[in-house]
Structure 1
Amino acid sequence: MERIGLIAGNGRLPFLFASAAREQGLEVVAVAHRGEADPSLEAEVAALTWVKLGQVDRIVRAFQKGGVKRAAMAGGIGRVRALTEARPDLGAVRIISRLRSFRDDALLRAVADYFESHGITIVAPTDWLAQALCPQGHLAGPRLNAAQEKDVTLGREVATLLGQADVGQTVVVHNGHVLALEAVEGTDEAIRRGGKYGGAGAVVVKRSKPGQDLRFDLPAVGPRTLETMQEVGAKVLALEAGKTVLLDAPELFRGADKAGISLIGVS
């Protein structure tokens, strides 16, 4: 049986990837980041090795021992944790020493190049998860009114600029005003901050960066995103169709309908 590697972070995406890979006849050898990945992932894979953030060579050794030639990155790494708890090994130091920019894309591409130099090709998790990508159109909840459609358009314009700067993926808008931009704090905290300043009725827009490398850092949303929106009374979630991963999509759609949150996929 062919083996596929999984570099696991937080959230549901590692579980979705492991399940999809198994269904397609692959044996999953996982490396999981302590403090991020869910320990129950161990029951879903053939082998699992725990690492601290920055232990690149330990990941390489685990995959080489497991006979892995291809691997995917799935799940997030909290940016605050990345800044405060990373434990770089010699491999990570070598990667960092060659970087001219410490932006996310440059760092992740450099990591992928390092793995490839050791015989492990980094592939896009969506190669196995095409069915989990957001479709285009109205997906759940009420139809948008004219004001909400304008806010979605504004949010996408600002999110494009935010992505070009390699800062974040989420923008919160209300009545033509930009309330919050995602940075190091992540999507949920950006939504909470936007709700604090704009009150109920906010529009949340999430999209990938222009020229996004599909191998890593794709936008992903799930039921937890809706829970955060309900906390602040946000009413619209607009996602980039074809490039946003829907975590537990049936539950997401049911939750949006129940909460009266409009969920749309925008081309």
Structure 2
Amino acid sequence: MERIGLIAGNGQLPFLFAREARTRGLEVVVVAHRGETDPALEAQVASFTWVRLGQVDKIVRTFQKAGVARAAMAGGIGRVKALTEARPDLGAVRIISRIRSFRDDTLLRAIADYFESHGVTIVAPTDYLSEVLCPVGHLAGPKLHTAQEQDVALGVEVAGLLGKADVGQTVVVRNGHVLALEAVEGTDETIRRGGKLGGKGAVVVKRCKPGQDLRFDLPAAGPRTLEVMREVGAAVLALEAGRTVLLDAPQLFKAAESQGITVVGVS
């Protein structure tokens, strides 16, 4: 049976990837990050190995030993943890020494190149998960009114500029004012900060960076995103269609309907 590698971070995306790979007849060989990956994933895959963030050569050795020629990265890594808890091995040091910037895309492409130089090709997780990508159009909740449509358009524009700088993917807007931009704190804290500053009715926009390598760090949203929005009274979640992963879409849409939160996919 053919094997595929999974470099797993946090959240539900590693579970979705593993499930779909199994339905395609693939054995899934997982390398999981301590403090990030849910241990429950081990019960759903053929092989499971723990690593600490930065142990690149251990990942390479694990895949080589298992005969893995292709692997995907799925799930997030907390940026604060990446700054404070990384334990770089010799492979990580070699990668770092070759790059001029520690921006996400630069670093991730360098890591992918390192794996490929050792016989492991990094593929996009969405090659196996196209059915969980956000569709275009109104998806749940009340219809947008004119002011909200304008806030969505502003958020999309600003998120594009934010992504171009390789800083973050999420923008919070209300009544034509940008309330919060995502940086190292992540999406949830960005939403909370925006809600505190702008009050109820905020619009949350999430999109890819322009020219983003689809193998890495695709935006994702799920029921947890709506829980945070409900905390601060945010009213709209606008997601880039075709490039945002929906985690547990049925539950996401059900929660949006019950909470009166609008979810839309925008191109």
Q: TM-score, normalised by structure 1?
A: 1.00
Cα distance in 2, alignment partners of residues 96 and 208 from structure 1: 25
Q: Which residue of 2 aligns with 1:84?
A: 84
Cα distance in 2, alignment partners of residues 44 and 214 from structure 1: 25
Cα distance in 2, alignment partners of residues 44 and 179 from structure 1: 41
* Shift of residue 31, structure 1, vs aligned partner: 0.1
* 1:219-230 superposed matches below 5 A: 219-230=219-230
Cα distance in 2, alignment partners of residues 54 and 156 from structure 1: 33
Q: Which residue of 1 aligns with 2:188?
A: 188
Cα RMSD between the aligned structures? 0.3
Q: TM-score, normalised by structure 2?
A: 1.00
- The question of 1:120 aligning with 2:120 is answered yes
* Shift of residue 102, structure 1, vs aligned partner: 0.7
* Shift of residue 215, structure 1, vs aligned partner: 0.2
- SS of residue matched to 2:171: strand
Cα distance in 1, alignment partners of residues 65 and 80 from structure 2: 31
Q: Which residue of 2 aligns with 1:109?
A: 109
Cα distance in 1, alignment partners of residues 25 and 133 from structure 2: 21
Q: Which residue of 1 aligns with 2:158?
A: 158
- SS of residue matched to 2:92: helix
- SS of residue matched to 2:126: helix
Gaps in structure 2 of 5+ consecutive residues: none
Q: Which residue of 1 aligns with 2:44?
A: 44
* 1:1-267 superposed matches below 5 A: 1-267=1-267
Number of aligned pairs? 267
Cα distance in 2, alignment partners of residues 55 and 36 from structure 1: 14
Cα distance in 2, alignment partners of residues 80 and 44 from structure 1: 28
Work out the percentage of aligned pairs sharing the same amino acid: 80
* Shift of residue 12, structure 1, vs aligned partner: 0.1
- SS of residue matched to 1:101: coil
Amino acid at match of 1:19: R
Note the alpha carbon deviations across 1:1-41, whole angstroms, 9 max, x for none. Answer: 10000000000000000000000111000000000000000
- SS of residue matched to 2:99: coil
Cα distance in 1, alignment partners of residues 91 and 165 from structure 2: 27
Cα distance in 1, alignment partners of residues 130 and 183 from structure 2: 27
Note the alpha carbon deviations across 1:41-81, whole angstroms, 9 max, x for none. Answer: 00010000000000000000000111100000000000000
Cα distance in 1, alignment partners of residues 102 and 239 from structure 2: 27
Cα distance in 1, alignment partners of residues 131 and 149 from structure 2: 27
